[in-house]
Amino acid sequence: MSSAATEVGALQAVLAGEHAALYAYGVVGARLRGRRRAEATAAYADHRSRRDEVRALLVERGADPQPAAAGYRLPAPVRGAREAVGLAVGIEERLAAVWLDAVARLRGELRELAARALQDTAVRAAAWRGSGDAFPGLVDP
């Protein structure tokens, strides 16, 4: 694969992840109140900015940014606040793995951008979880 094709493939993969995260945070926010709800709203805004940034990068490269799916299947039913926080942790942890794949596939400035996005997603996961993570995004360190 050419490096341009690799770049576009890596960016489309993180775009798909950000689309899914936006969908999930819509569900998360609806089940939370007060401070937690405000955090979910802030996270939603962060993911929307990332999504727009990645879309713009794809357009710059002459690629067609893939749209969000019509629907997403949640890993588990989200009936209350506890499940909502669990979904937020899960989506951020999975997204960390997606961004870390992008770090490996991209070069130069795009690799740095992916590394920064990984940090943001790891910080949000830790905030929801209340604890750190020695190797965010790494399945098998």
Give the interface with other proteins as residue ranges (CB under 8 A).
Answer: 94, 96-98, 100-101, 103-105, 107-108, 111-112, 114-116, 118-119, 121-123, 126-127, 131-141
CB of 139 vs other proteins, minimal distance in Å: 6
DSSP category for residue 135: S
Q: Tokens representing 29?
A: 């926010």
**Between 79 and 139, CB nearer to other proteins:** 139
Write the DSSP assignment of 82-93 as a string of letters: HHHHHHHHHHHH
**Between 37 and 111, CB nearer to other proteins:** 111
To 10 degrees, the CA torsion angle through 80, 86, 87, 90? Answer: 180
CB 35 within 8 A of CB 112: no
CB of 80 vs other proteins, minimal distance in Å: 25
**Between 30 and 49, CB nearer to other proteins:** 49
**Between 24 and 96, CB nearer to other proteins:** 96
CB of 66 vs other proteins, minimal distance in Å: 16
What phi, psi does 108 have (nearest 5°)? 55, -135
CB of 23 vs other proteins, minimal distance in Å: 17
Write the DSSP assignment of 109-125 as a string of letters: HHHHHHHHHHHHHHHHH
Rounded Cα distance, 100 and 95, in Å: 8
**Between 84 and 121, CB nearer to other proteins:** 121
CB of 141 vs other proteins, minimal distance in Å: 5
